[in-house]
């Protein structure tokens, strides 16, 4: 078990942005629509849709919004036709990124991403240029709620999940894709509050960012990508030193 929380500094600013309800609802709405389009509108028979609905409710997305997003996917009401695309790329300081996009115009999105990434000191890569350095895993984010690392670790082992990334505010449980659903149900049965659950790309090898100037470049790179409306999820292998991160955010 890893027992550390280096993921937290990478997600630090993203969490603040995702607290903005509009962006969160837009992201989840797209996921609901695509899940319903691919697997139908029956939550019980569509695991991806069930997961999206759970995430929608976790951020208090109104039921009417959830219903409309699903109906757009099933064709009951007219909606935009979205495509899912995963791009791979390189960021400043030798980092790697996996970029999950949902777009209604892939040519426009590709052009915009290429320009943006180049401007920020990176470049888009070919298929499997960086994917080899990432594992696809299920990730459940929970409120730590005063539990010790040992207490949560015991629950992780009992749930059948693989790993724990502990933090005093929110912790992440890492599982195989196949056990994400059963692990989620286990934590719900133990009254552990789940705030998010999804599939992520987790880096096998990280790039350490230790000085303030490099931290500034990396933060600007990640934040600028996060702000693009078509980017659904962004994953990187940056490990920003806590002191460098704190100093960079002050300046």
Output the DSSP codes for 20-61.
SHHHHHHHHHHHHHHHHHHH-S-GGG-HHHHHHHHHHHHTT-
Better-predicted residue by pLDDT, 234 or 7: 234
pLDDT tier for residue 248 given thresholds of 50, 70 and 90: confident
Q: Do 96 and 62 lie in a common domain?
A: no
- pTM for this one? 0.85
Q: Is residue 79 part of a domain?
A: no
Cα gap 14→200, rounded to integer Å: 15
Question: How many separate domains does the chain show?
Answer: 2
Cα gap 78→154, rounded to integer Å: 47
Q: Do 194 and 111 lie in a common domain?
A: yes
Is 80 exceeded by the pLDDT of residue 39?
A: yes
Q: Which pLDDT tens digit goes with each residue over 87-128?
A: 999 999 999 999 999 999 999 999 999 999 999 999 999 999
Domain that holds residue 165: 1-10+84-251
The pLDDT value recorded for residue 5 is 39
Q: Do 2 and 26 lie in a common domain?
A: no
Which ranges in the chain belong to alpha helices (H)? 6-18, 21-39, 47-58, 63-74, 106-119, 149-159, 180-189, 212-226, 242-250
Q: Do 34 and 94 lie in a common domain?
A: no
The alpha carbon of residue 98 and the mean position of all alpha carbons in its chain are separated, in whole angstroms, by: 11
Q: Do 230 and 138 lie in a common domain?
A: yes
Q: Do 131 and 207 lie in a common domain?
A: yes
The count of other CB atoms within 10 Å of the CB of residue 171 is 24
Q: Do 59 and 93 lie in a common domain?
A: no
Q: Do 124 and 227 lie in a common domain?
A: yes
Q: Which of 74, 101, 116 is the last residue of a domain?
A: 74
């Amino acid at each position: 078990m890893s027992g550390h929380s280096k993921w937290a500094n990478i997600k630090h600013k993203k969490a603040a942005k995702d607290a903005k309800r509009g962006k969160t609802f837009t992201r989840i709405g797209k996921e609901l629509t695509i899940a319903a389009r691919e697997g139908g509108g029956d939550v019980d028979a569509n695991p991806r849709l069930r997961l999206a609905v759970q995430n929608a409710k976790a951020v208090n997305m109104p039921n009417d919004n959830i219903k409309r997003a699903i109906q757009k996917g099933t064709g009951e009401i007219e909606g935009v036709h979205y495509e899912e695309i995963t791009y791979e790329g390189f960021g400043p300081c030798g980092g790697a990124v996996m970029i999950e996009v949902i777009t209604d115009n892939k040519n426009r999105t590709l052009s915009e991403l290429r320009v943006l990434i180049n401007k920020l000191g990176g470049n888009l890569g070919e298929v499997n240029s960086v994917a080899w350095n990432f594992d696809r895993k299920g990730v459940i984010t929970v409120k730590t709620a005063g539990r010790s690392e040992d207490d949560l670790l015991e629950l992780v082992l009992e749930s059948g999940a693989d790993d724990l990334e502990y933090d005093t505010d929110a912790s992440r449980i890492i599982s195989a894709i196949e056990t994400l659903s059963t692990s989620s149900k286990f934590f719900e049965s133990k009254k552990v509050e789940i705030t998010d659950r999804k599939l992520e790309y987790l880096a096998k090898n990280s790039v350490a960012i230790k000085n303030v100037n490099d931290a500034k470049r990396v933060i600007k790179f990640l934040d600028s990508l996060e702000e693009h409306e078509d980017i659904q999820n962004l994953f990187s292998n940056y490990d920003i030193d806590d002191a460098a991160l704190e100093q960079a955010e002050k300046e």
